[in-house]
Each structure stands twice: as structure tokens, then as C-alpha cells.
Amino acid sequence: MRGPSLAVKGGILLAVVFAALKFVLPLFTAPLPMSLIWLYLFLATIGIVVYGTLSAESTEALLGPVFRFLSGEGIGGMAKSARLAVLALVPLLVGWQTYSGLVPSSQPPAENRTIHPAPPGEFVGLSNPVPNTPENVMQGRGFYSAFCSPCHGAKFNGNGAASDGFNPPPANFSDPGTIAMLQESYLFWRIKKGGVGLSVEGHPWKSAMPRWEVELSDDMIWKIIMAEYAGAGQKPRTWE
């Protein structure tokens, strides 16, 4: 039994590439812009054409069905109606694409905020000078309750009573994707310099995190950091 022609296989391959880039990849990482997806499809198409035109047989296998479809040769019955529908659809799709490209966007500009941008050099590798004793952690919990819990929550989950209106929302420390993957020095920078201390990719203009260096001593900040890790049941990331 003859298998599908090279043209059909090529079409299936393009569909698989598109589905993988458009729907599967975003499950693991940031979605790709459509322009990049089209570029990959274009490159895949070139690859299929190059492969399909290596010999006269493969060229016929690749282009034969396309030419027969275009000419309508040997196509009858339902397939004939389907061919006409496809031929009518192509100009309509081109028209729709043109219209879509020209119509004013109703979406606000995309915001690709980096959640954990690189800290300034002066904060890299700092170690907590405050001994991790139960007394210090207890003190840190007191400071946390007074200064941090209104937004980050008494349960360290970012669900404080003052959190509802903020975009981006306060960090959820119990989430393994937040402080568990950061060093204590990183938290020290974020607490000390606050939202306004972020680099441009961190969108500092939107962060409600106060610049706590104005109100808290370094000692208090280090104790708060210990309390956050203890309260959220997390451990700071260290260099193994």
C-alpha cells in the first residue's frame, strides 16, 4: 500500500512544528512571538523543498500532488468541491491577514517583566552576618509581622490584606519559585532597595515594594530574611 506522498508528509511536518512551537513550548517556557514561529516554519519549508528536490522522483513526489491540486487534473466529486473551497479560502485568508495587520490593536503593549533580574554587583555574594538563632528568627518574625505581612501575608503566601490592588502581586514566599531559588544576598538587595531599585527589565515603575533602607537597619533586614525562610519552610539557595 502506498503511503502518503512527500507533499502530505511535508504538510504534516509543518503542522507538527507549528503546534509544538505555538502550544507545547509555552508549557515549559515563555511563548514565542508569532514572527519567530513564522520564521521557523519558513526555514522548515525550505528544508522540505531542498529535501524534496534532491532527485527527479522526489521532486515529482513533492510537487506532483501540488500541481495536480492546482490544475484540478483527475479530481472529481467531493474532492472537486473541496479544491474549489480551498482555492476560494486562500485569497480570503490573505485579505483577513491584511485587515488584521492594519486594524488598530485593542490590546495594551505586551509586558515581558523579568521577575528575578540580576542584582547590582555590590549585593552579589553577601552573606548574612546575623547568627541564625531562634531569638534572631523570632525578632525577624516580629519585624516581618509589622512591616511585611500586610502585603506578603501572615502565612508568607503573598496574600496579605493590602495585596489585592497591586500589579504585580506581592511575592509568595511559600512558592518554590521565589525565595527558595534565591540567595539571602538577593533578598537583602530587594528589601533594602525596594521596587524602585529594580533594573529596567524588572519594571520598577510598577512595584509597590518599599525602599526599606529608609526605615529599617541592615540588621533588621537580615533578621527578616531569616524569618521569611523559616516561616515559609524554605531554605536559601547556596553555592554547592
Partner 1 sequence: MRIVPLRNRAGALLAVAAGLLWVAPALSQETVVVRAKLIPGEVPTDPMAPVWNTIPPTEFPMSPQVHWQKRIGSVTVKSVKVRGVHNNKQIAFMLEYADPSQDPADAAALEFMVGDKKAHFAHGQPMGQVEGGPVNIWYWRNDAPGAVDMSAQGFGTLKKQAQQDVQAKGVWKDEKTKIKFKERKQSLRKDPKGELVKDSKTGDPIVDEETKVVEQEVSGVWRVVFTRALATTDKEDVQIQTGTFPNVAFAVWDGKKQDSGDLKETGSQKAISSWWYINAEPPPDYSIYLYGLMAVVLAAGVEFVIIRKVKKGQPA
> Of the two residues 52 and 119, which places its CB atom closer to partner 1 in the complex?
119
| Contact of 143 with 229, CB cutoff 8 Å | no
CB of 134 to partner 1, least distance (A): 8
Q: Which residues bind partner 1 (CB under 8 A)?
A: 67, 70-73, 87, 90-92, 94-99, 102-109, 120, 150-151, 153-155, 157, 159, 161-168, 193, 195-200, 203-206, 208-210, 215, 230
Closer residue to partner 1 (CB): 147 or 222: 147
Do 188 and 221 form a contact (C-beta atoms < 8 A)?
A: yes
SS3 state of residue 118: coil
In angstroms, what is the minimal distance from the CB of 196 to partner 1?
4
CB of 184: closest distance to partner 1 in angstroms?
19
Q: CB nearer to partner 1: give 100 or 238.
A: 100
User: For residues 1 and 102, which CB has a smaller minimum distance to partner 1 in the complex?
Assistant: 102
CB of 141 to partner 1, least distance (A): 8
Residues 6+ apart with CB under 8 A from 192: 211, 212, 213, 218, 221
Question: What H or E segment, with its residue span, contains residue 151?
Answer: helix 149-152
Crossing angle of the two packed helices 56-71 and 34-52, in degrees rounded to 10: 120
Q: Per the structure block, which three cell numbers stand in for 42?
A: 519558513
DSSP 8-class letter at 22: I
Q: Is the dihedral of CA 93, 94, 97, 98 positive or negative?
A: negative
Nearer to partner 1, 15 or 43 (CB): 15
- How near is the Cβ of 1 to partner 1 at its closest, in Å? 27
